[in-house]
Structures are given as C-alpha cells and as structure tokens.
Structure 1
Amino acid sequence: MQLIGPFSQILPLAGLPDKGPIRDEALQVIADGGALISDGTVVFDDYAKLKKANPSARLELVDEPQVLIPGFIDAHTHICFAGNRSRDYAMRIAGKSYLDIARAGGGIWDSVTKTREATVTELAENTVARANRHLQNGVTTIEVKSGYGLNAEDELKMLRAIRTAGLHTQATLIPTCLAAHMRPKDFDGDERAYLHWIINELLPLVKAEQLANRIDIFIEETAFSVEAARAFLPKTGMQITVHADQFSSGGAQVAVEMHALSADHLEASKEEDIRRLAASNTVAVVLPGASLGLGMHYAPARKLLNAGASVAIASDWNPGSAPMGDLLMQAAVLSAAEKLSTAEVLAGLTFRAAKALGMAMPAADLQAYPCKDHRDILYYQGSMKPVAVWKGGNRITIS
C-alpha cells in the first residue's frame, strides 16, 4: 500500500455521465488530496485524512504544487509503421490534392510499401518508441491499428509487432485489425472479393494467434463502400470500430447499425448522422490531429455533445494525415475551436475513450502536472507536460 501526495488538486473524474455535455461545475476537485493505492485500486481523499487512517502506507511525497488526474487513453492510432510521408505533407501544403499526391506515389500505399519492407523487429521497435513518448506525455493506454500490410504476411507481421511492442513498453497497447484500410493495388479482385479474403483467409489466422479481437474498416469513396461494409462487418465475429465520415457521409450510419463500439473521424457527418450517434451507444471519436494535418475543419464535437452523444478525443497518430501525435495539444486546440469545457475534454481523453475501446478505466493509471489549478493544463495548450506518470500504481521510468 502506498500513499502519494499531497497534491494541490486531484480530479478523480468519477460520477460523470458517459454521454452528452458536461459543465465544469460537475467536476469533483479534491484540494490537498492524496492517492492511496493498493493492489491496483486507488482511493482519493484528503491527504492528511488518508495518512492518519493508513499509518503503515509507504509514502511518496509530492513537495511541489501538482495536479493529479487519470492517465489518458488514445482510442485511435496507427503508430505501427515504417518510414514517413514528409513528401506528401510538403505537396499538401503547397496546394496539391489527395489525388495528385496518390498519383505521385504518395498516400496510404507509400506507407504500405515501406511497412512491408520493414522487419517485425523494426516495426516493434518503432511502436515501442512512439508508445513510450505517448506514455511520458500521460497516455497510458493506446489503441494501435494494423492496415499498412494489406496482405496476410504483412498484416500478421504488423499485429505480431504490436504484440511484441506491448511486452516492451509499460503502456497498455490495444491491437485492432485494419486490413480493410484500402483495397491493395496488388490484389486481383474488387472490394467485395478483398473483404471476402479478409473474412475467410486472414481473420482465421489473426484469431488463431489471438492477435486482435477488434476489426476496423475505412468507409469512404477512396476505400470501401457503405454496401460492402454492411456485408463485411457482421461476418467478422469481432468488436467493431469504423473509420467513418472523414470526407463523405455514410460511415457513421453503418457504425450505428452494426452496434460498433465507435465511429471515428466524423468531419463530414451530417445532422442525421449526429442524431443517430446521439441515440446510440456508439462513441463518436473525433480526431483533431487529422484535421490539423490535412488543413480541414474539425469534427462537429460541440454539436455531437449537445445532441447527447458520447464524444472521445484521439490522436489518429499516423505517418500521413496526423504525424504529430501530441494528444493533449490536439485536444486543447479542438476545445478552443469547438468550445468544449474542460470537463468534456478530460472526459473525452479518459473514461469516454475507454468506452470507445469497450474497457473500464484503469483505476491506478495516473498523471501529475506541475501546477496548482487543473485549468492550467488546457490553458497552456499542450505545452505543459506531466512531471510524473503512474501505471497500475507504479511510477513509470523510461530510459
């Protein structure tokens, strides 16, 4: 048993709603608080009270002003990849279109080519390095997608690399099979034939090795159609998430119909899509990093919340549209643009993100910021980083 504190403030983020708006007044703020950790559970209360009631607890003293909050959960990333797409980015900011970049050899296929060339060891090392950077920044649980392999050998290689990476980082990695990222150029058949191949050839191998229990599909004019996705998803026998409404509408509707855990992106969602998501248990995962990287508008987070949806915020960290990977900065910038309360942002980075992954909040994953007032965390727009991170109650160290 250990007692950490005293903290200037502790925000447990408990007792808040899973869906809809949250006013800052609903936040529980414990002043001069302590965190009592035992066997992976945590109790937050007045530090002096906890110390008196638990005289045998091992003390971890905090002698500078700090604010303690739960660890963040990034519910949408692509951090298992090789190479980068800086050429794509330079072309994009110079005014080239998506098709111009693809014709020049860029886009997702460029990352597929580089990832296919990498070894499983190289991919695992890349994933560990990115996961550890996230962990240092307070992100203790990270969803990681495949989707740059797009054949049996390389999709399995990616998922094995994610599993290996999970053994070499203190962050929790949640694997997702995104073989339905795009129809590969070297596949001899149409979209339905490719999705049929995923179901009948790839997924049995994924399940046999227990590499993932989550499936994702990119529903878009340049990827897979609404009709093909509707036929594909029920046959996978896996937890469902969907790349939805990034450039055109339709994906969110499929996500709701399929009872998906989440619908991610939503920049192009229409009013009826917002209403459907709000009436469902599907979490709306917004990805401000992609909007920043592509120079496009944000997902309608404010409208989604006002309608009653559950909104999580994720980084979409990937080599193409969202290479930055700074979750807190992206969330802070989104909050200013979409007028999200501090409570809504913190909810979207913690327990609502956990809901998007179908998991409970890890009780003793915590992070502390060097300030007296929790409002400073978003005020500095991501430039303030945590000074301490705990995973399962253990303070993490990263060399």
Structure 2
Amino acid sequence: MKLIGPFRQVVTLANLPLRGSLRDEQLEVIECAGIVVNARSIIKVGNFEHLKQEFPHINIEYIEGEQIAMPAFTDCHTHICFGGNRANDFSLRNAGKTYLEIAESGGGIWSSVKHTRETSEADLLKDLLIRIDDLIRQGITTIEIKSGYGLKLDCELKMLRAINSAKEYTPAKLVPTCLAAHAHPKDFKGGSREYLNYVLEYILPVVQEEDLAKRVDIFIETSAFEPEDSRAFLQRAKAMGFHLTVHADQFTTGGSRIAVDCGAQSVDHLEATNEGDIRYIAQSNTVAVVLPGASLGLGMAFAPARKLLDAGAILAIGTDWNPGSAPMGKLIMQASVLATSQKLSTAEVLAGICFRAAYALGFEDRGVLTEGKRADFVCFKTDHYQNVLYRQGGLQPCAVFIKGQKYA
C-alpha cells in the first residue's frame, strides 16, 4: 500500500449519475490531495496531509510540481488492429467523393480488408502494440478493439488472436470485439444475408470456442447490412451468449432502434439519429457512443450529443481510431472539439470518457476515483482540471497509473 501525492487537485467523478446532463458544479474536486492505493485498487482519496496522519507508516510516492489527477480514460470504440492505411481515401474525400462512392470504387473498408489480409499476425501485433502504447500515454487504460478487416474465417481469427496476444505485453485492459459483420466482402459468393449466416455458423462458433471475444458488433447501414437482417443476426448472436454492440445511424436511420430492441450494451456513431430515435435510446440502458473523430475525418455533422444528454441518455465518447474515416486517435482533442460544438460541460465530457465509457463495455469498477475502484488515473502538469479540455489536446499527461503503478 502507498500514498501518491500531493496533487494540486484530484477530480474524483464520485457521486455523478450514470445518465443525463451534468453541471461542472457537481464535480468533486479535492484540493491538495493524495491517493492511497494497494496493488490494484483505490483505498482512499483525500487531503494529502490528513492521509499522511491517518496512515503514518505508509510508503509515499511524491509528486513533484503542480499536478492534477483524474480517473484514467476508456476508449470504448476503436479499430486499431489493421494493416496498411487509407491515405488515398483522404485525398478522394477532399476531391469531393463521398464515403459511399469511395467504398464502391474499392476504397473504404474493403481497402483495409485487402491490406489486413496480406499482413501477418506478427506484424498486426507489432503495430497494434504501438497504437496501444499511444493510447495509454494519452491516459487511456481500458481499450476496446474490433476485428472486422478480415471478413473471412482465417483472417478474422488472425485479427482476434493478435488482439488477445497483445494482452500479454500491456498492462492496459483490452476488450476484443468480433466485427466480422463489418461489410459484405466483395469476394464472398452470396448475398448479405448469406454472409451473415456464414459469420453465425462458421466464425462465431470458433471465436467462442477459443474465447477470442465476448462481444459481437455489426454495421447497420445501406452500404453494409440492412436493418431486419441485422436484427436477426443480433438475436442469434445474443442467443449464443455474446454481448452486443452496434454501428448505427451513421448515414441513415433505423439501426439504433434495433440495437436498443436487442439489448445492446452500446449503439455507436448516431450522426444521423433523429428526435424519435434520441428519445428511444434515452429510455433504454444502451449507451449512446458518439465518435467525433469520424465526423472530423468525413467532414460531416457531429452526433447530437447535447440532445442525447438532455433526453437522459447514457452518453460516452470514443475515438473510432481506424485507418480510414478516423485515423487520428486523439481522444482529448476530439472530445474537446465535440464539447465546443455541442455545448458540453467539462463534467459531461469527463463522464463520457471515464465511467460512462467504461459502462459501455460492461465495467463498473473504473472511471471513478473512490474506494474499491481500479487504481487507474492520469496526471497533468497544471494547476486546474479545466485546463485539460481547454487546451484541446495540447496538454498531454505527465504520468499514467495503471493499478497504482506508473506506466513507463
């Protein structure tokens, strides 16, 4: 057990509701604070001098200079296991081509599929670990990672095996998700419905047998899979024992209601979500995950985060880090820009990248600095927590702690 501090401020995010809008006045901010941790969990957070007196024989890890601490972040939606890149897509978009036009011409997801199929599992793992390290150094210690650039049995398994192998080399918590239903592969002999049956009958049983993922995702969209086919797919995947998450309402509506009806943990994107869908999501326990990086990458409107919060939804924010539409992978920058566009409070943003994002992955043991929670937190060299979002990603963490240990 040890005491870490003193911090100029610790923002605990304690006692905040899981859903709905938040005011900054609701934030618990402890001045001149310390954090007592054991090998995994938080024992106590409070005034540093008081904690020294309460634990007179405790080891102390001193913090130098003015720093603030807050819970480490969760990125609940990434595609960081991939081969190649799609820089050409960026040029085509800037030349006026739409996402669908680029996909139809052989770019988009299919371009990443071809590159990923050609990349060995060892090389996928090597590049994946570099991206994981990047995210950790941003203060992100829980990371969801999707497959979906294989789109056939051997390549989907190759991706998921690389993701699971990465767990041996990083202290971050990795959450694999099988997104074999990302797109209809151009080389598959059969229609979209037949491909979804192929995923259900040939890919998911092996994923389950090898314990490669406990979550299944699908892209419900005109360019991917139709709503009713997707509903049947999700119902069967759920019956197999998988947790569900859904790409929905990115360009057209219809997918978010299916996600809610099927009891998905989260419904992600939502740029096209309408007023009725917002109310439908808000009345459920399905987390609305908004992905500002995709809006920036595609030059399209942000998801209606303000309306979702005001309606009472559980809102989380992810990077969508992928090789095409969201290649940046910078969570704080994206969340800050979203906050400016959607008029989000600092409390709403921090909740959306901390405990609400963790809840989207089924975790309730992190994202808040209180007794018994996982001792993951991030430190910034500043005298006030507001500066983290104010700097729009320009203020980088000076330290990241995972289970109470500083990440080297």
Alignment of 1:197 onto 2:208: no
2 CA distance for matches of 1:290 and 1:19? 24
Aligned to 1:167: 168
Does the 8 A contact of 1:145 with 1:177 survive in 2? Answer: yes
1 CA distance for matches of 2:119 and 2:22? 45
1 CA distance for matches of 2:177 and 2:152? 15
1 CA distance for matches of 2:404 and 2:353? 19
Q: Which amino acid letter does the alignment assign opposite residue 386 of structure 2?
A: R
2 CA distance for matches of 1:98 and 1:310? 28
2 CA distance for matches of 1:109 and 1:94? 20
After TM superposition, give the deviation of residue 105 of structure 1 in Å. Answer: 2.6
The TM-score, its normalising length taken from structure 2, stands at: 0.96
Alpha-carbon displacement from aligned partner over 1:146-198 (angstroms, at most 9, x marks no partner): 00000000000000000111211222110000000001011111111111111
Aligned to 1:8: 8
**152-161 or 35-44: bigger deviation:** 35-44
Aligned to 2:26: 26
Q: How many residues are paired up? A: 397
Q: Which amino acid letter does the alignment assign opposite residue 382 of structure 1?
A: G
**355-364 or 285-294: bigger deviation:** 355-364
Q: 1:1-399 alignment to 2 at 5 Å?
A: 1-42=1-42, 43-236=44-237, 237=240, 238-362=242-366, 363-397=374-408
Q: Percent sequence identity over matched residues?
A: 53
**248-257 or 356-365: bigger deviation:** 356-365
After TM superposition, give the deviation of residue 248 of structure 1 in Å. Answer: 0.3
Please give the secondary structure, in 2, of the residue aligned with 1:381: coil
After TM superposition, give the deviation of residue 103 of structure 1 in Å. Answer: 4.3
Q: Which amino acid letter does the alignment assign opposite residue 39 of structure 2?
A: D
Does the 8 A contact of 1:350 with 1:361 survive in 2? Answer: no
Please give the secondary structure, in 2, of the residue aligned with 1:79: coil
Please give the secondary structure, in 1, of the residue aligned with 2:5: strand
1 CA distance for matches of 2:386 and 2:376? 20
Q: Which amino acid letter does the alignment assign opposite residue 38 of structure 2?
A: S
Does the 8 A contact of 2:67 with 2:379 survive in 1? Answer: yes
Does the 8 A contact of 2:100 with 2:223 survive in 1? Answer: no
The TM-score, its normalising length taken from structure 1, stands at: 0.98
2 CA distance for matches of 1:93 and 1:18? 39
Alpha-carbon displacement from aligned partner over 1:188-229 (angstroms, at most 9, x marks no partner): 111111111111111110011000000000000000010001
Check 1:135–1:360 CA distance in 2 against 1; reply closer, same or farther (3 A cut): same
Q: Which amino acid letter does the alignment assign opposite residue 142 of structure 2?
A: T
Does the 8 A contact of 2:99 with 2:298 survive in 1? Answer: no
1 CA distance for matches of 2:397 and 2:69? 9
2 CA distance for matches of 1:95 and 1:5? 52
Please give the secondary structure, in 1, of the residue aligned with 2:336: helix
2 CA distance for matches of 1:178 and 1:361? 26
After TM superposition, give the deviation of residue 99 of structure 1 in Å. Answer: 3.9
Please give the secondary structure, in 2, of the residue aligned with 1:56: coil
Please give the secondary structure, in 2, of the residue aligned with 1:211: coil
Structure having greater relative contact order (Cα 8 Å, sep ≥ 6): 2
Q: Which amino acid letter does the alignment assign opposite residue 189 of structure 2?
A: D
Q: For structure 1, which runs of at least 5 residues remain unmatched after alignment? A: none
